[in-house]
Structure 1
Amino acid sequence: MKAGLVVDNEYIYGEEKHLTVLKTSLFFANDGYTVYDCNGQLIFRVDSYGPDPRDKGEVVLMDAHGRCLLTVRKKRPSLHHRWEGYLGERSEGQKPVFSVKRSSIIGRCAMTVEVFNNPGEEYLIEGNFGQRSCTIFNAGKESVAEIKRKVDASTNVVLGKDVFLLSLKPGFDGAFAMGLVLVLDQINGDDYVENDEADMSPTAQDNVL
């Protein structure tokens, strides 16, 4: 398996790719998302998992046609807020393909990602998801994806946090990256730190994921 491929080869691009991630409802925390490319083509969707979901600790990422690509599920009990990702629709006894957990309970906040179906492949997520400012680094400390605020090209105005960019470097699995977004969203909900003056640096000591 080549580095960067975790979920689906279809979502690995030969050049840098910018996806627009849109929250589909603003009434409840964690209602779902739709994800589009720069041409407005639907790439991913996540149906509502708001006030009365099937399982509040499980979220399913689908392609544009409703095919289940990935299920992310909270592992219980888990001291470090560990989440696991499963290919397709998770079934009993199925082994996860990756896990995400806090790198430490106290100290600098960051998330570590371990990939099981590509042994030795690890990633680190640093930044502030509540402010839509995160970077995903590979084991070589190279940036492979970024979550950042979206700017309206016509007005040069920064849009609200319900719409943001997921930027992928060439060779990195976009479905995997979106799975990590879902994990971050589940951990954070919509309890954003409403402080636009906060330090947005990916390695800031006081950032909260």
Structure 2
Amino acid sequence: MYKYTKRKNIITINLFFQYTAYIAFFYKKKKKKLSRKYKMGDNEYEHEVRKMIVVGEKYCYNEEIELTVHKKSMFRQGDGFIVYDPNGDIIFRVDLYSPMKPLGLVLMDTFGKPLLTLLHKRPTLHHRLEGFLGETSDGQQSILSIWKSMMIGQSKMMVELYHESSPDVPIEYQIEGSYNERSCTIFRMQHDTSSVHVAQIKRKVEPTRNMVLSRDVFSLIVQPGVDAAFVMGLVLALDKIDGDDVALAPSGG
């Protein structure tokens, strides 16, 4: 009887520790989804990553992520894009544009589901694109507007995002630098006129040979909590407004 009771207690204790370990693992995993670690001196801290969801929460990462963007040129320049995550898996793609919507750009996920559609806004004094969630339909409200601002000595891409977190006024972004050189930075503008760096486009370097690849393959670095699908939509708009096709297009007359 004593041996049986002792064995039963041991089993109970083992089950308790297994359950405690499982709870600790689950809590740690859940907490990891909501926070990221950073170091200050010899100490390590955690803070919550604030997510700015535009297209989908799954595209808001807890850590900085570097995506590889491949601009396809199958039949003519600008036929589409393929975007890879750090593991080499396709995360976004833009296929050949539909003949029914020759001016439209559709960002899709791996399986071809439309995530974001960009269309020209007409009439307008600026070369302006408007963005819509998923596929566009009559009467659908745009969620963003992007255009090129020409000022003396400089030009910037301006973005207005209509988001539920700021229902009264649009959230403003600026894109500075040269997209043609694959060197530009995306900033979110603050109310106090300061700005926050949210993403960067730069030339892709092949690490084993330390060789800079062609402009058709470049890096898109997205900061933690920023919607990578939204940022990729801005890249598509950049390519349409200020890309290689625009530079090479013959002038009218």
Alpha-carbon contact 1:29-1:189 (below 8 Å) kept: no
In structure 1, what is the equivalent of residue 174 of structure 2?
124
C-alpha distance in 1 between matches for 2:142 and 2:186: 20
**Post-superposition shift, 1:78?**
1.8
Asked if structure 2 preserves the Cα contact closer than 8 Å seen for 1:131 and 1:192, the reply is: no
Cα distance in 2 for residues equivalent to 1:91 and 1:172: 26
Tell me whether 52-61 or 180-189 shows the greater mean CA deviation. Answer: 52-61
CA–CA distance in structure 2, aligned partners of residues 132 and 55 of structure 1: 27
| Aligned counterparts of 1:18 and 1:91: Cα–Cα separation in 2 | 33
Classify 1:192/1:101 alpha carbon distance in 2 versus 1 (closer, same or farther; 3 Å).
closer
- Is the alpha carbon distance of 1:191 and 1:25 closer, same or farther for their aligned partners in structure 2, counting shifts above 3 Å? closer
How many pairs are equivalent?
191
The structural deviation recorded for 1:187 is 1.2
RMSD value over aligned CA atoms? Answer: 2.0
1:97 aligns to 2:143 (yes or no) = yes
- Separation in structure 1 between the aligned mates of residue 246 and residue 130 of structure 2, nearest angstrom: 23
**What are the Cα deviations for residues 27-86 of structure 1, in whole angstroms up to 9, with x where unaligned?**
41211001001111110000013xx74323211000001111000111012211111100
Flag structure 2 segments of 5+ consecutive residues without an equivalent. Answer: 1-49, 249-253
Instruction: Find the aligned partners of 1:60 and 1:106 in 2 and give their Cα distance.
Output: 33
CA deviation string 1:88-108 (max 9, x = no partner): 000011000011112336541
Matches within 5 A, 1:17-166: 17-25=65-73, 27-49=75-97, 53-104=99-150, 106-118=152-164, 119=166, 120-140=170-190, 141-166=195-220
Distance 2:178 2:121 in 1: 22
By how many angstroms is 1:4 displaced?
Answer: 2.5
Higher strand share: 2
| Residue matched to 2:10 | none
Q: How far apart, CA to CA, are the structure 2 residues paired with 1:193 and 1:156?
A: 29
How much does 1:22 deviate? 0.5
Question: Cα offset for 1:14?
Answer: 0.4
Counterpart CA distance in 1 for 2:245 and 2:107 is 22
Cα distance in 2 for residues equivalent to 1:77 and 1:29:
26
- Structure having the higher Rg: 2
- Paired with 2:60 and 2:139, the residues of 1 have a C-alpha distance of 28
* Greater relative CO (CA pairs within 8 A, separation 6+): 1
Write the letter of the residue equivalent to 1:100.
I
| Structure 1 moving runs of 4+ over 3 Å | 104-107, 191-194
More helix by share: 2
TM-score by length of 1: 0.85
Contact persistence 2:78–2:245 (CA under 8 A) = no
Go from structure 1 to structure 2 and tell me whether the alpha carbon gap of 1:190 and 1:104 turns closer, same or farther (over 3 Å shift). closer
- The percentage of aligned residue pairs carrying the same residue is 51
